[in-house]
Amino acid sequence: PAVPIVYMPEVLTVRYGLRIADLFLADGGIYNCEAFNDHGDAITSGHLIVTDPAGMKNVKCEEPEICFTKTPSPVIARLRGPATFCARLQGNSLSLSHTSFTWTVGGRTVSSTDHRCQVTTEGDCSVLHISEVCAGDAGPITCTARVCSPGVPPTTVSCDTHLGLDCAPGSPATLLRGPSDTTVMRGDRVLLKATYRGSPEPHVRWLKAGRELRTEGRVQIVSRDGVSCLTVSAITADDSGKYVVSVENIHGADCHFASVAVEGPPEPPAARPSVSRGPDCATVAWSSPAYDGGCVLTGYRVEMRTTDSQDWSVVADRCHSLSHVVRGLTPGQSYIFRVRAENIHGASDSSAESFPFTLDSADRREEELEAEQEGEEGTLMQVSLEPGEQFLQRYSVHEELGKGRYGVVHKVTDLRTQHTMAAKFVRCIKKQDREKVQEEIDIMNCLRHPKLLQLVAAFENPKDIVMIMEYISGGELFERVVADDFTLT
């Protein structure tokens, strides 16, 4: 039968009462009163004991079984919006029991490491909060409670609800025009522009090498009124590569990409030129630059001066090899050489100067030989594993350059020479892992050529091995090869 509810106003408070006429023994038990609004809910309980009018004997009803007094309500949420669910248990023995709650969302169990779904439990109440709802969350939401009481078998109860996505009228996110492939000079500014539409307003993201770009430093992103612009100022060789723009709303998603090629004069030839003597000449040899300026090198320029003069003269221009024979030198005179790389955009800065060279010297001075071996010849020595603690004593670690299945590569700086290098950190958990890295070191020790990446040093730590190599800037090789304006040499 319907139960009348009496409204009992008081000063500054509002109270509700429950009046039951003609009590029976079956009316005894636990009664709950629950109040809720948009900001939360509250619950209180009371135990009603019905006595027998004839014998005045207290007859207490059976304690109800453990069950949910509050089940989570269905929720319709927007994509990337929040959603919250709450469940509460009932049972007098809960205070003496251990209760654990488990939530499942879209058929998967919520774990403690899930950064989007957080479960908060306090006593007999458990709350599930989803910070960013995605399409895979839609569907049934289940809360399972397992109650373990002393001396009795565990009790498991569960309740279900539903999470739906807000399918308001609108249109899918679509890119009307994506960014175009661009070639920009080093140091300039590049602007990538995309136009889009969709309702509700799409969420726009720009990515490079799988990492999302944000407005900071040299990067600025502005998206409004159906237009998104990515601006990169003071562009460098490392900024070249593929850029992806994606738009998404609850009705759909779209993406487009463009390649950015960074060109300019090349970097100087790596290391210091070496000079070797012949019968009546000198042979100058050098290494190629770490970055060719984004286009094919047209040659090298070899310059020379005497030790008692500051005026440089060009002895070779548009040299297409990595060495040049200089003739006509004056016996007894000391010379210094340097080299510049050239492409269609101009010449690079000069390389480091060679050590002074004298044609008629029978033997090279010992200190020059040691310095030259320590400088440019240092990369040609056989590399062996060194103690790991020496790595941070000799190098400073900078940003991440790339990541693979077995390790990660960072840009590093040699603290003594200030040269930029690349450090590959390879995880070595098993003995076989270390053997494979040692095999790679042995192979790279055999690959000594100006056109091949050189291994400089290697350090051994308990959990990884660090391999120091030459740093090659200019972006990914694949992006260069597939570019329409790239010329294979």
Which residues span the domain enclosing 179? 172-263
Residues 351 and 444 in one domain: no
Q: Is residue 45 part of a domain?
A: yes
- The candidate with the shortest Cα–Cα distance to 28, out of 66, 60, 67, 69, is 60
Residues 350 and 407 in one domain: no
Q: Residues 160-176: pLDDT tens digits?
A: 999 988 766 778 899 99
* Dist CA 452 CA 468 (whole Å): 14
Name residues whose C-beta falls within 8 Å of residue 229's C-beta, 6 or more positions apart in sequence. Answer: 191, 192, 193, 194, 221, 222, 223
The whole-number pLDDT of residue 127 equals 94
Count of domains forming the chain: 4
Q: Is residue 225 part of a domain?
A: yes
Residue 14 pLDDT exceeds 80: no
What number is the average pLDDT over the span 171-190? 92
417 close to 270: Cβ distance less than 8 angstroms? no
Domain boundary among 135, 150, 166: 166
Q: Label the pairing between strands 252-263 and 182-185.
A: parallel
The whole-number pLDDT of residue 369 equals 46
- Which of 154-168, 199-213, 246-260, 328-342 comes out lowest in average pLDDT? 154-168
Residue 9 banded pLDDT, cuts 50, 70, 90: very low
Residue 143 banded pLDDT, cuts 50, 70, 90: very high
The whole-number pLDDT of residue 447 equals 84
Name residues whose C-beta falls within 8 Å of residue 363's C-beta, 6 or more positions apart in sequence. Answer: none
283 close to 325: Cβ distance less than 8 angstroms? yes
The whole-number pLDDT of residue 15 equals 67
Backbone angles phi, psi at 439, to 5 degrees: -65, -40
Which amino acid makes up residue 306? T
Answer left, alpha or beta for residue 40, where phi above 0 means left and psi between -120 and 50 means alpha. Answer: left
Q: Is residue 372 part of a domain?
A: no
Residues 346 and 430 in one domain: no
Q: Sign of the CA dihedral 8, 10, 15, 21? A: negative
Q: Residues 64-114: pLDDT tens digits?
A: 467 888 889 999 888 788 999 999 887 655 555 788 899 999 889 999 888
Q: pTM above the 0.85 mark? A: no
Residue 364 banded pLDDT, cuts 50, 70, 90: very low
Residue ranges of the alpha helices (H) in 242-388?
366-374
Q: Residues 390-400: pLDDT tens digits?
A: 999 999 998 88
* End-to-end CA separation in angstroms for the chain: 93
- Which of 6-15, 135-144, 344-353, 462-471 comes out lowest in average pLDDT? 6-15
Q: Is residue 16 part of a domain?
A: no
The domain that contains 456 carries what CATH number?
3.30.200.20
Residue 420 banded pLDDT, cuts 50, 70, 90: confident
Domain boundary among 220, 240, 263: 263
**Vertex 296 angle, CA 292 and 298, to 5°:** 100
Residues 352 and 447 in one domain: no
SS3 assignment, position 346: strand
- What is the DSSP secondary-structure string of 356-401? PEETT-SS--HHHHHHHHHTGGGGGSPP-EEETHHHHHHEEEEEEE
What number is the average pLDDT over the span 257-276? 90
Domain boundary among 243, 263, 283: 263
The whole-number pLDDT of residue 380 equals 52
Residue stretches of the annotated binding site for ATP: 431
120 close to 143: Cβ distance less than 8 angstroms? no
Q: Is residue 460 part of a domain?
A: yes
* Dist CA 322 CA 337 (whole Å): 14
Residues 148 and 179 in one domain: no
Residue 196 banded pLDDT, cuts 50, 70, 90: very high
Residues 149 and 179 in one domain: no
CA dist 94 → 121, 126, 159, 435 (Å): 14, 14, 18, 58
Residue stretches of the annotated binding site: 431
Residues 452 and 353 in one domain: no
